[in-house]
Amino acid sequence: MAKEFKDFDKEYASLRRTDEMESADDRHEASLLTRWDIIVQSWPSDFIRECVYGVGCEEWQKFRVSLKGQSTRMKLWRLKMLYVDKCYKLEHKPEYAGWRCRIDNYVGALVRGGLLESGTYRVLK
Domain spans, the chain: 24-112
> Which tens digit of pLDDT belongs to each residue from 18-73?
999 999 999 999 999 999 999 999 999 999 999 998 888 899 999 999 999 999 99
pTM for this entry: 0.90
CA distances 56 to 62, 95, 111, Å, are 11, 11, 26
